[in-house]
Structure 1
Amino acid sequence: MSYASFAQYYDSLTHNVEYARRADYLCTLLAHLGHAPGLTLDLACGTGSLTVELAKRGMDIYGIDGSADMLSVARQKAAESGLDLLFLCQKMQKLDLYGTVDTVICALDSINHLTLEKDVQTAFDRVSLFMNPGGWFLFDVNTVYKHRHVLADNIFLYDTDEVYCIWQNHYEEKNDRVGIQLDFFGREGNLYHRSGEHFYERAYPQEQLLHMLNQAGFDVVYRFADLSLEEPGEQEERVVFAARKKK
């Protein structure tokens, strides 16, 4: 899917993500791992907010996303920040780079958008294929706990200067999958323009992700609580994985 409507309002609805703080955290995590990031890929970069923040910190980085609409916003954002960044339109499971990279970052539950196990494995395989030996793959996922107890069948409302959004979830227990319906009411003067998106997110057991990473050629894997260097707890909503490509 293109996420065309979502791209238009994504930044307005994610202002609380604290991209600068997340960029600082990722730099701290890489230092904790003793890894100089080198050439870095921001996989599933969306509208490029994190890509831009990491570039501002001196990281040699470029972004890839499957949505041309998201990337259009990302390119404009980079230009407004005075940065000349490369953005490519590719799906995670069809990653095809010009050469190898030293670090891959995939943030904000992008892996959860791959709802088939084979697509997750293929994405991990592609990341490994284009990663230099000893490189690190950092990504985060929404947990099974979050899907069952936080997202579940709940409804969330967002009211910003730009848009009023109704976020409705439908939880499918069989695959820990959540169907997400977003209805946007964009303000245009005294009128509203309605649009919407529907997609799914799937939560994978952490042991399953560890197995997939091993199958893809990653030999060392650490797990952290979100924005932390501590181990995740049982009720963690987001877990950060750090996986090293075999040397």
Structure 2
Amino acid sequence: MEAYSKMAKVYDELIYEDVNYEKIANFILNLCNKMAINKENYLDLACGTGNVAQYIGKNFKLNYLVDLSEEMLMEADKKLRFSKVKAKIICQDMCELNLNKKFDLITCVLDSTNYILEDSELEDYLEGVHQHLNENGVFVLDINSYYKLSEVLGNNIYTYSTDEVFYSWENVFEDDIVDMDLTFFVKNGELYERFNEFHQERAYKEEFLEKKFKNAGFIIKEKYNGYSEEKVLKNTERIVYVLTKSLGYI
């Protein structure tokens, strides 16, 4: 089953119900202002249901949203229409990015990069972003840290319950990969519909990932502990990278 296929309609209530999307968007927009980034073209990769793009997109003339899940994109389309944000919504693998356009801002947030499991796909993803980024543009991404995936999520079980939804989330961490087996019960009338989703995230060590950035032609302009001005610590759970193109890179 394609990841998020059945979960799309309840996604916002579940995994990221406590995430402040507007705060993330404002943090990224403030970065753009400090770096004097043009606000012409914006691309959000692995956009999900458009939670971040609905805020950032209001500040750009042209917006593109890319995700591999058609169901998630359908929810994003509804959300952006409601927010009156014009966007081109495209179902595409971000490791095979081909939009024939360059952007001033590209984002890939909420640990979507961790879903890339193979070195070759990671390299294709970074190369694709590099090709689609304007010379003076900025690429903002975040990852679940190695600490979070191995120590916080890895080999643990979580549950969530309301009158409308119940789910269990069982994790196994092995060989730098966390397997996440999720079972959902979602109320549908008087009954509950059950479905399962299986996800995998790769735990990237900072040194490895940062070398990949450099090899792809990026410079790390900033590195943050979450969407804050704080420095990355040993127990940081989300690392935010701000990348620009290396001068003279071919």
Q: CA deviation at 1:161?
A: 4.5
Partner of 2:6: 5
Q: CA deviation at 1:134?
A: 2.5
Partner of 2:38: 36
* Unmatched 5+ stretches in structure 1: none
TM-score of the pair, normalised by structure 2 = 0.92
Structure with bigger helix share is 1
Partner of 2:238: 238
Partner of 1:53: 55
Q: CA deviation at 1:17?
A: 0.9
* Unmatched 5+ stretches in structure 2: none
Q: CA deviation at 1:2?
A: 4.5
Secondary structure class of the residue paired with 1:197: strand
Deviating beyond 3 angstroms after TM superposition, the runs of 4 or more aligned structure 1 residues are 56-60
1:2, 1:69 within 8 Å by CA — same for their partners in 2? no
1:134, 1:244 within 8 Å by CA — same for their partners in 2? yes
Partner of 1:75: 77
Structure 1 CA distance for aligned equivalents of residues 180 and 159 of structure 2: 13
Structure 2 CA distance for aligned equivalents of residues 31 and 84 of structure 1: 21
CA distances 1:104-144 after superposition (whole Å, capped 9, x unpaired) = 11100000011112111110000001111122110000011
Structure 2 CA distance for aligned equivalents of residues 59 and 26 of structure 1: 16
Seen in structure 2, the aligned counterparts of structure 1 residues 24 and 109 have a Cα distance that, compared at 3 Å, is same
Partner of 1:127: 129
Q: CA deviation at 1:237?
A: 0.3
Partner of 2:196: 196
Structure 2 CA distance for aligned equivalents of residues 244 and 193 of structure 1: 45
The percent identity for this pair of structures is 33
Per mean C-alpha deviation after superposition, the further-off stretch among 98-107 and 35-44 is 35-44
2:42, 2:106 within 8 Å by CA — same for their partners in 1? yes
Seen in structure 2, the aligned counterparts of structure 1 residues 65 and 196 have a Cα distance that, compared at 3 Å, is same
Q: CA deviation at 1:32?
A: 3.4
**RMSD (CA atoms):** 1.6
* Number of residue pairs aligned between Structure 1 and Structure 2: 245
Seen in structure 2, the aligned counterparts of structure 1 residues 161 and 57 have a Cα distance that, compared at 3 Å, is farther
Seen in structure 2, the aligned counterparts of structure 1 residues 31 and 84 have a Cα distance that, compared at 3 Å, is closer
1:165, 1:185 within 8 Å by CA — same for their partners in 2? yes
Partner of 1:136: 138
Per mean C-alpha deviation after superposition, the further-off stretch among 63-72 and 221-230 is 221-230
Secondary structure class of the residue paired with 2:139: strand
